[in-house]
Structure 1
Amino acid sequence: MTSPKSLAAKLRADESIVTAWASLAVPILAELLGRSGYPAVTFDMQHGQHDFGAVREGLSFLSLTDAHKIVRIPVGEMSTASRALDIGAECVIAPMINSVEDARAFADAMKYPPVGKRSWGPHRAAMLNGQALPDYLASANNETVALAMIETPEAIAALDDILDVPGIDGIFVGPSDMSLTLSNGAKLDPNGEKTIEVCAELAERTRAKGKIAGIFCMSPERVHESRKQGYRLMAYGFDVSLFMGAATAAIDACR
C-alpha cells in the first residue's frame, strides 16, 4: 500500500481506472477478470451474491494479478467496511450516503485515529501487501480510499458537506438509483439527459474539492463521456453480462 502504484496514488494523480463489476461469488472469476487486463475489480456485496467469505476468497485470488481490489458494502454496514479493509480491500464504496452523519460513520469505519475510529486488525491486508504491520499503519489512512455513493436528491444537496468530512476521499455515483430517486420512482433512466447532466455537475463539484469522482457506466461510450466530465474511476463490465456475451458469441460462431 505504500507503493506509488497504489490505487489511491493513481486516482490522486488523475489517472483513470476502469473497474470490472463482480457480482458472482466465484473467487476465480475475479482473478480471471484481473488477468484479462482490468486494472481493478469491484466485489459487489450490495446487489451481488457475495457474502464476507466470498469477498475474502476473491480478494486473495485477485492478489495473484495486478488488479486493484475494491468492495461495495451493503447499505449501512459500516462494520463491513472495516472488515473489507482488514482482508485486503484498497477501496470501499458505501451506498446511500445521504448526509454528513452517514459520511462520518463511513469515515470512522475506514480511517484510523485521529481521522476516524477504525479498530486494529489488518493482518491479512498487510500479508497480501507484503507489509510489516507498523508500515501498514503508517500508510493506511492515506492509501485506503473511502468513496461515498451519491444516489439521491438529499445526497446531492449535502454533497459539499459530505466531501468536507475528514476521511471521505470522494464519491461514487450510481446513475440507476439516481434516476430512480430524481423521478420519485417514475422511471429508471441512467443514460437520460437529466441524469447525465446531474452526473456532470457532481463530478465538477467533487473535483473542485480536490476529491476523487467515480461512477458506474452502462456502456463504453459512457466511460469515455464520464472521463471527460472529470470522473477517474469508472465501473464497466458486469461479470454476468461479460460471461453470457462471450458464451453467446462462442456458440453463435459455431452455428
Structure 2
Amino acid sequence: MPLQLKPTLREDLATSDRALIGGWVCSGSPVMAEIMAGSGLDVVLIDMEHAPNTLQSVLAQLHALSGYPVTPIVRVPSADPVIIKQVLDLGVQNLLVPMISTAEEARDVAASMQYPPVGRRGIGNALARSGRWNRVQNYLDDASGHVSVYVQIETTQGVDNAESIAAVEGIDGLFAGPSDLSASMGLIGQQTHPEVVDAVKSTFAGARAAGKTAGTNAFDPAAARDYLSAGAEWVLVGADVSLVARGSEKLAADFIPRSAH
C-alpha cells in the first residue's frame, strides 16, 4: 500500500479554525525536539540558521518529531538551492527561508522547491526520504502538493515589498522576523518598539493583500497576543534554549543566596 505523507503547514493553516502556535528547537537535540513535540504545540521549528544543526542532526530531530501530532518546519540557513534540495530530500515538507527582501529572491526560492519544468529542484526521490524511497505514489508529479515554503521578511526593503513577495507563485506565505527587522530599522534589540511592531503588521497586510498567510516570532507574551489579534495565522512563542536558560536562572535565583552570586 502506498505511503501517505503528513499534511503540510499550508494545509494545516487552511483547515484550522484558529491561529497555530509553535516553538523553536535551537539546541540541535532530538531529545529537546521530542520534549517540544509532546507539549501540545501545533508547530515545531528546527533552526539551521542560528543553531548547531547539520543534515544528520535535522534528520534525527525529524525522527523524534514523527511520532507526535505536530507539524515540523525547518529554517534553512540561506536561500542556497543546494541546501534547499538537501533539506527537502531529508523529508522536510515545510521550509522557512530567511532574509528574503524582493520578489526576485522569492521566485528563486519557489523554483528551488519545485521539480522541472516548473522549477529546478534536483531529482533524487528514489534515493531519499522525501518520497520515502519511491513508496509515496506519484511523488514526482505531486511533489509541490507535499511541500510548503514560507519566506522570512527581515529588512525594511522586505516590508516594502511584502505584497509582491507574497504574490509569487509557489510562495505559501510570509513570516516576519522582528529581531533582524529591528536591526534593519536602526532599532537593534528593540523587537517590541512601536515602529517595529507596525512594520511586522505591515508585513501581515502585504501577505493578506496577496491572498497568502502570515506569521511571526514573538517570545514576549503581550507581543504574541497583539500579533494574534492583528491577524497573524501562526506565531512562534518560545524556544527550547530560552526556556531552559530562563528556567535554570530562576532555579538559581530561588535557591542560591543573593550574596553568593
Task: Classify the secondary structure of the residue corresponding to 1:133.
Answer: coil
The structure with the larger Rg is 2
Q: Could you tell me the percent identity over the aligned residues?
A: 28
TM-score (norm 1): 0.88
Structure 1 residue 8: deviation in Å?
Answer: 1.9
Change (3 A) 1:3 1:207: farther
Structure 1 residue 251: deviation in Å?
Answer: 6.2
Task: Classify the secondary structure of the residue corresponding to 1:132.
Answer: coil
More helix, by proportion: 1
Q: Give the equivalent residue in structure 2 for 1:206.
A: 207
Matches within 5 A, 1:209-228: 209-228=210-229
Task: Classify the secondary structure of the residue corresponding to 1:41.
Answer: strand
Query: What is the distance in 2 between the residues matched to 1:66 and 1:169?
Result: 22
- Amino acid of the structure 1 residue aligned with 2:42: P
Higher alpha-carbon deviation: 147-156 or 220-229: 220-229
Contact 1:151/1:173 (CA < 8 Å) preserved in 2? yes
Structure 1 residue 60: deviation in Å?
Answer: 1.3
Matches within 5 A, 1:119-158: 119-122=122-125, 123-127=128-132, 132-158=135-161
Query: What is the distance in 1 between the residues matched to 2:111 and 2:174?
Result: 16
Matched, 1:34 2:34: no
1:8 to 7, 10, 25: 10
Task: Classify the secondary structure of the residue corresponding to 1:196.
Answer: helix
Contact 1:70/1:90 (CA < 8 Å) preserved in 2? yes
Query: What is the distance in 1 between the residues matched to 2:5 and 2:76?
Result: 25
Query: What is the distance in 1 between the residues matched to 2:201 and 2:4?
Result: 32
Contact 1:204/1:229 (CA < 8 Å) preserved in 2? no
Query: What is the distance in 2 between the residues matched to 1:114 and 1:170?
Result: 23
Change (3 A) 1:12 1:137: farther
Contact 2:48/2:76 (CA < 8 Å) preserved in 1? yes
Q: Mind listing any 5+ residue stretches in structure 1 that lack a counterpart? A: none
- Amino acid of the structure 2 residue aligned with 1:230: G
Change (3 A) 1:28 1:234: same
Structure 1 residue 248: deviation in Å?
Answer: 4.4
Task: Classify the secondary structure of the residue corresponding to 1:65.
Answer: coil
Q: Give the equivalent residue in structure 2 for 1:91.
A: 94
Query: What is the distance in 2 between the residues matched to 1:3 and 1:54?
Result: 21
Query: What is the distance in 1 between the residues matched to 2:124 and 2:80?
Result: 18
Task: Classify the secondary structure of the residue corresponding to 1:124.
Answer: coil
Structure 1 residue 249: deviation in Å?
Answer: 4.8
Structure 1 residue 194: deviation in Å?
Answer: 0.4
Matched residue pairs, number?
A: 251
- Amino acid of the structure 2 residue aligned with 1:171: L
Contact 2:34/2:65 (CA < 8 Å) preserved in 1? yes
Contact 1:30/1:62 (CA < 8 Å) preserved in 2? yes
Query: What is the distance in 2 between the residues matched to 1:244 and 1:108?
Result: 39
Q: Give the equivalent residue in structure 2 for 1:108.
A: 111
Deviation digits for residues 9-31 of structure 1 (CA, Å, limit 9, x no counterpart): 12123542112111111112101
Contact 1:69/1:88 (CA < 8 Å) preserved in 2? no
Matched, 1:237 2:238: yes
Structure 1 residue 218: deviation in Å?
Answer: 2.1
Structure 1 residue 253: deviation in Å?
Answer: 6.5
Matched, 1:169 2:167: no
Change (3 A) 1:149 1:225: same
Change (3 A) 1:120 1:59: same
1:50 to 53, 61, 76: 53
Structure 1 residue 107: deviation in Å?
Answer: 0.7
TM-score (norm 2): 0.86
